[in-house]
Amino acid sequence: MQWTNQPCNTCISSHYLEWSLAPNPVGKRAYRIALNSGYNADKSVEYLCYGTSIYAVLVPLDNPGKPVIFMGHKNPVTCVAIAPNGQLVASGDDKGTVIVWNLDAKQEIVNTFSVCDGAVNDIRWGPKSDMFVAGGSGRRVYATVFRTRSLNAVGKIDKITTNVLSVDFAPAGDLVATADESNDINFYPKFEHGARTKNHKRYPNIIRFSPDGSVLASASSDSTVILTDAKTYEVKQTFGGPECKDGHSGSIYSLAWSPCGKKFATAAADSTVKVWNAEDGSVLKTWTVNSSSNEMQNQLCAVTWTPSGRIVTLSVGSVLDVFEEGNDNAVKRIISPSTDSVVSAITVSRTTGNVYSVDLAGRVSEIESKSGATSWLPFTVTNPTGVAVSCDGKTLYISASETIYAANLESKSMSPLVTLDKTVLKIVASSSKPGLIAVAFNNESVGLVNEGKLAGTAQANAADLAFNADDSELAVALVGLRCVRVFTVSADGALTFKHDSADDNNSPLSFVTYFKDWIIANQGNQLNIYTPAKWPAIANPGWTFHESPITSGALNPAGTLLLTVAKDRQIIIWRELDKLRPRNKIVQRCSPGGLTRVAWINDAMFITVDDSQFVACWSVL
């Protein structure tokens, strides 16, 4: 993976990073979402291009776990496009700014442009990669053509009075077109206004010139596609609409030409993507997207036809499906653990190394740890709060509201394990007993669930919980008192208060773990170690290396390395803890956003989640 941290942040050396999963673009009902594709300069990598949060993302279609992330926008990125030469990338945001980047090892900013007053809805490159046209929302300026290496506008894209929905550059390089919310399509030969057409009854959501530049295709919410002659501006053909039995039954939001120019693909609100013969208007292929049981989530809002000939769609549910004309079904589905939502909790199976996460929408993801390949498990929950894997790797526990569910990871089936009388906030599985789970509740109490029954409860407002090696103790990082509370655990699961640590600096705790018979926890950005000999005081001097409060920490399975992460975007690997003078390795600025979660996959690999919902797998060298 490659990161760029413009203008002055440093890059993480890529040999630490095994793979990373960028959030998919967020689909939106009744809107076109910008989705583009293109090759790099030597045509060795074919990318999908889109915006997510404040980042421009290029995802290799054949290796989604190695995205290129451009960080420089201050506002959400709305569209991204690779130049024909594969050397430049342009990205626009919702405040009218377009940044042009070099697509190389340094990924430097070439120029920054102000295009319009509001969101940039579309960017298209000229054939020589020396100019681009961008358009969007505004009050005075709605679209502009710029030269890549200067800040000067080319010509005058005027006579537009409403928001621009789409733009395109003709292959000859001397003609651009715009489509706007007045249902107008404007043509600008030599970058001056030449003609206006109004042939659609509803919004022309997207316009694209054919590869030979002879016609402009426009796809509309009136369910039609119109081909307009690029020289005479006369309508040549109209496809779809109420009289077309094979056409779309809903609004068409996106269109893309095949590389050969003899066909084009459309994506619509009826959850179908169709391939049309551009000569006679016949429908050559129809695929129906069924990635979700919720029909609205299957509605389509984007399509791109890649240079290699693959068709990629985006659904309202933010799922990317890859189609090939010779197949009746999608050949690949690209999802991310945070697709259209936020990662609520994440855990790792110590037996398989697979990573499991649940997002706020209640979808449960299974991530193959070697490659990052992600799939959804065939069940969902409502209001999820936690996830944990039993120590034998057979059962995935998911907490949601007052219920803890048990999912059989072999049969991929789920059923309620226990329903309690209070909301579950967090769950932690025992490392030695498959049916034992520690639970944090919303009424400032903790409990143990043993073999599907609530075995015992105790008073503690928990930020985190941890069992010791033989499950005879439970340590709790307290929210209110800001110290560590320890309980003994009886054979039947009863909890008995043992003692509290000292409250040393009145900073919040976020994690707790056992190291042999010691306890490690944080207070703010300080790491504390508690030993039996020094209890309740900290045994170490209080190590402070993070620049912001620690958000998560974890000890590796062998008990030799501790990881801590924070919103400062740093990973600290702590070694030789038993000497109370640890050697630590700081991985600087290692993610797009502040880090929120960390978990070990094995003794050599770990996974992180940041607040921009990027999930990454790292190796320890």
State phi, psi for 298 to the nearest 5 degrees: -90, -10
Whether the predicted pLDDT of 4 surpasses 80: no
Mean pLDDT of 481-507: 90
Q: CA dihedral defined by 539, 541, 543, 544, rounded to 10 degrees?
A: 140
558 alpha carbon, distance to own chain's centre:
31
Collapsed DSSP state (helix, strand, coil) of residue 386: strand
Alpha carbon dihedral 492, 493, 496, 499, in 10-degree steps, equals 130
Categorise residue 330: left if φ over 0, alpha if ψ from -120 to 50, beta otherwise: beta
**CA-wise closest residue to 321 among 617, 27, 106, 12:** 27
Buried b (16+ CB within 10 A) or exposed e, 230-266: beebeeeebbbeeebeebbeebbbbbbbbeebebbbb
* pLDDT band, very low/low/confident/very high, at 355 (cuts 50, 70, 90): very high
Q: 280-307: per-residue pLDDT in tens?
A: 999 999 999 987 778 899 999 999 999 9
Q: Rounded to an integer, what distance in angstroms lies between the CA atom of residue 95 and that of residue 114?
A: 9
Tell me the one-letter amino acid at 279: E
Quote the pLDDT of residue 243.
Answer: 85
Residue 262 DSSP SS3:
coil
CA angle, 399 then 397 then 388, to 5° = 95
| Token duo for residue 497 | 């208060």
Query: pLDDT band at residue 340, thresholds of 50, 70 and 90?
Result: low
What per-residue confidence (pLDDT) applies to 599? 96
**pLDDT, tens digit, for every residue of 53-102?**
999 999 999 999 999 999 999 999 999 999 999 999 999 999 999 999 99
> How far, in Å, are 195, 349, 513, 569 from residue 561 at the CA level?
68, 18, 12, 19
Three-state DSSP state, 565: strand
- State phi, psi for 467 to the nearest 5 degrees: -85, 150
pLDDT digits (tens, 9 = 90+) for 377-417: 999 999 999 999 999 999 999 999 999 999 999 999 999 99
Q: By C-alpha distance, which of 274, 189, 192, 179 is closest to 220?
A: 179
CA–CA distance, 378 with 384 (Å, rounded to integer): 15
pLDDT tens readout for residues 31-67: 999 999 999 999 999 999 999 999 999 999 999 999 9
Nearest-5° angle of CA 464, CA 468, CA 472? 115
3-state DSSP assignment of residue 370 = coil
Give the sign of the dihedral formed by CA 259, CA 261, CA 263, CA 265.
Answer: positive
Return the pLDDT at 589: 76
The 3-state DSSP class for residue 579 equals helix
Please say if the pLDDT value at position 422 is more than 80. Answer: yes
Dump pLDDT digits (tens) for 537-590: 999 988 999 999 999 999 999 999 999 999 999 999 999 888 888 888 888 777
Task: Tell me what pLDDT residue 584 has.
Answer: 87
Please list, residue by residue across 3-30, b when 16 or more beta carbons sit within 10 angstroms of its beta carbon and e when fewer do. bbbbeeeeebeeebbbbbbbbbbbbbee
- Helix, strand, coil shares of the chain, percent, nearest 5, are 0, 50, 50
Whether the ω angle into residue 557 lies within 30 degrees of 0, i.e. cis, is no
Give the predicted TM-score (pTM) of the model. 0.92
Instruction: List the structure tokens of 349.
Output: 């199976």
Structure tokens at 471: 């499950």
By the 8 A CB rule, do 124 and 168 touch?
yes
For the ranges 8-22, 127-141, 499-513, the lowest mean pLDDT is seen at 8-22
pLDDT at 592 over 90: no
What number is the average pLDDT over the span 348-376?
93
Which SS3 state, helix, strand or coil, does residue 15 take? Answer: helix
The 3-class SS string of 409-420 reads CCCCEEEEEEEC
pLDDT of residue 1: 40
Q: What is the pLDDT of residue 293?
A: 76
The mean pLDDT of 258-272, rounded to a whole number, is: 98
Query: Which tokens go with 575?
Result: 């070694």
**Does residue 91 contact residue 97 with C-beta atoms inside 8 Å?**
no
Mean pLDDT of 346-367: 94
pLDDT of residue 583: 86
CB 619 within 8 A of CB 16: yes
Sheet with 77-82, side-by-side order of all strands: 77-82, 88-93, 97-102, 109-114
Residues contacting residue 250 through CB under 8 Å, at least 6 positions apart: 223, 268, 269, 270, 299
**CA distance linking residue 532 with residue 521, whole number of Å:** 14
Strand segments, DSSP code E, in 16-64 are 17-21, 36-39, 46-52, 55-60
Preceding omega of 7 cis (within 30 degrees of 0):
yes
Helix (H, G, I), strand (E, B) or coil at 356: strand
**Average pLDDT of the chain, as a whole number:** 93
Q: Is the pLDDT of residue 10 over 70?
A: no
Residue 621 has pLDDT above 90, yes or no: no
Task: Tell me the pLDDT band of 12, cut-offs 50, 70 and 90.
Answer: very low
**Which residue in 115, 303, 330 sits closest to 219, CA to CA?**
303
Domains and CATH numbers, the chain: 24-334 (2.130.10.10), 343-619 (2.130.10.10)
| CA contacts within 13 A on the Cβ side of 306 | 25
| Res 504: pLDDT | 67
Angle (nearest 5°) at CA 529 between 524 and 532: 140
